[in-house]
Chain A
Amino acid sequence: MPAADEDDNKSDGGIDRLRVDGRKVDVARLRLAAIDRAVFAAGAGHAAVDHDEMIRRTVNMLFGHG
């Protein structure tokens, strides 16, 4: 698999100046968990799913196998 190149813009230090608001992260996490519980009954049946494999299948579904 071709590796992702993450060197771009690493040297400018810009990423260190970008702060993430921890309180907003907490709110976001709670909201996502609430949606998960309400719509999908989180915890039921998730063990059977390989998430990376599902992502690859979705990519194939969109773009074909080639």
Chain B
Amino acid sequence: MVTHDDVIAIARLSKLYIPEEELDSMTKAMDDIIKFADTINNASEEGVEFDNINNLSNAFREDEVVESFDRDEILCNANDIDEGHFLVRKRV
């Protein structure tokens, strides 16, 4: 059973705010989804170890220095920049 406290804790970890008026509906939605997810615990089998798909192995490439993006290009989608840096409000 998912409680209001669970939802508040999960929201904090998810970096989301759940407004007071939406707490009931979000708790119910989460509870429904978790009950649905719980059906896997009815499985009699334990399953088998799964660590990758289609036998993929790590794909390494040579550690070569290649041209990167221009700093201004990287900053072009930011809301606030200052002298080549992303800008956020001062915290301390």
Specify whether A and B are partners: no
Query: Residues on A close to B: CB < 8 A?
Result: none
